[in-house]
Amino acid sequence: MKNNQNSTKWFSLASVWFGGIVSVPALLIGSLLISSLHFSSAVFAGFVGFSVVVFLMSIISIYAVKQQKSSVSLAANSFGTKGAGIIVGLVIGLSTLGWFGIQSNIAGASFSKIILDTTQLDLPAWLSSSFWGLIMLLTAVFGFRILKWLNYIAVPAIILLIIYGLYIVFQNHNFQEILDYQPENTMSILQAIGLSIGFISVGVVISPDYNRFAASKKDAVLGSLFGILPSALILLAVGALFAITQGTYDIVEIFASLGFPFFAMAILILATWTSNVMNMYSSGLAFNGLFDLKESSRAKTTIIVGIAGVILAAIGILENFLDFINLLTTTVAPIAGVLVADYLLSEKDSKENTSDFNWIGILSWCCGAVIMILMEAPIKFVFGIVSRVLIYFIVSNVIAPI
C-alpha cells in the first residue's frame, strides 16, 4: 500500500521545484553569465544546460517512483549500501549544505544592505545571515508538507517582485539596449552550458527525495519539467537583464536599487526561504543516510547540519559562488550519470545489488570526476556527464561479467 504522500500530483511537485528555483541564486547565475556573454548567448546556454538537467531528472524520477526510494537509498544499487551512504550522502549533504549557506548569506547581506540604506543602522552581514539562516533551518525541520504551503505563498510573491523590477527597469531602458550589450569578458558557450548544468545539477541527485511522492511516473516527469525549465530560464534572463540595466553584477545592489526597499527585501527573503528549506531538508536526509540513522532522527540531524550551514553563511560563503558552482559540476554530475546508467541497466536486469560497495559505480564516479578535473577544454562540462554513463555501461557489461 502506498504512503499517503504518494498521491502528489504534478502541479504540486512543480510548485515545490518552482519554489526551489525561483530564488536569488537563479538571478545570480544570469548576472554571472552576462558578464562574459551577450544576452542571447547567455539565454541559449541556460536553455541547453537546464534542459540537460531536466532530462536527467526525469529519468531518475521515473526510477524513484518505481522503487519508492529516497536519493541515497536509490543509489545503493549502483554504489552499494555503504558506498551510497558515504559517497552520495556526503556529496548531496555537502552540496545542499553549501547552497543553504549561500542563500542564507544572500538573505543576510540583502537585509543588512537595505537596513543601512533606509535607517543608517549598520547591521553586520554575518549577524543577519546567522539570524535568517536559523529561521530557515527551523522551518526545514518540519519537512515536505510545510514546504508545499510555504511555496504557495512565496512563489506568487517573488513573481510580483520580478514583474515590478522589470516595470521599473523598462521605464528607463529598452530591449534594444539589452540586445546591444557588450560583455566585459569572454566565455565559451560550452563553459556557460556547464555552469548552467552545475547551477541546478544538485536537483538531479536530490529529485528522488521529492519525486518519489508522485502519484505516477508521468506526474514526476511533468513536475520536474514545468517546475524547473520555465522558471530557471526566465530567472536567468531576468538576472542578466537586471545586471545590464543596473550596471552591476551584485545581486544585493540590484535589489536595493529597485525602490520600495522593505517590500523588495521581504519578498527576497521569502523566496530565499523556500529554496533554502529544500536545501536543508535534502541535506538532513543525506547525512541521515550517511550515518545510517533511522528516519525518526531526520529532524535532529537536520538541526545539527543546519548549524554548520549557518556558520558558512556567517563567514561569507557567497564570495566563493563561482568556485562552488564549478565544484558541483565536478562532483554532483558524475553521480547523476551513474544513476541514469544504473536505471537503464535495471530495465534489462531487475536483480538488486545488496553488497556494501559496488565498485563499478564508485569507479565510474571517480573516473567522471577525474576527467572533469584534468580536462581543460570547455567541452568537459558536457562530456563529463556522458562519460559517466558510458563508463558504467562498459564496466557493467564487458569487464564485470568476465
**Among the listed residues 313, 234, 336, the one whose alpha carbon sits nearest the alpha carbon of residue 23:** 234
259: left (phi over 0), alpha (psi -120 to 50) or beta: left
| Per-residue confidence (pLDDT) for residue 260, from 0 to 100 | 64
Residues 354, 211, 203, 268, Cα dihedral to 10°: -150
* Helix (H) or strand (E) run with residue 275 in it: helix 261-290
* Mean pLDDT, 10 residues at a time, the chain of 402 residues: 62 83 81 90 94 91 86 84 84 87 87 84 92 86 64 74 82 88 86 85 84 90 93 91 80 67 73 78 80 80 90 87 78 80 70 78 83 72 69 69 51
At 116 the pLDDT is 85
Do residues 198 and 382 touch, judged by C-beta distance below 8 A?
no
pTM of the model: 0.80
The H or E element spanning position 157 is: helix 144-172
**Cell numbers describing residue 379:** 567541452
Cα–Cα distance for residue pair 120/112, rounded to 1 Å: 10
Give the pLDDT of residue 4: 46
DSSP code, position 401? T
Q: Which amino acid is at 195?
A: L
Fold of 10-399: Hydantoin permease (1.10.4160)
Q: Could you tell me if 45 and 233 are in contact, meaning their C-beta atoms sit under 8 angstroms apart? A: no
- Which conformational region is residue 181 in: left (phi greater than 0), alpha (psi within -120 to 50 degrees), or beta? beta
List all residues 6 or more positions away from 78 whose beta carbon is below 8 Å from its beta carbon: 84, 338, 339, 341, 342, 353, 358, 360, 361, 392
206 burial class (0-12, 13-18, 19+ CB within 10 angstroms)? Answer: buried
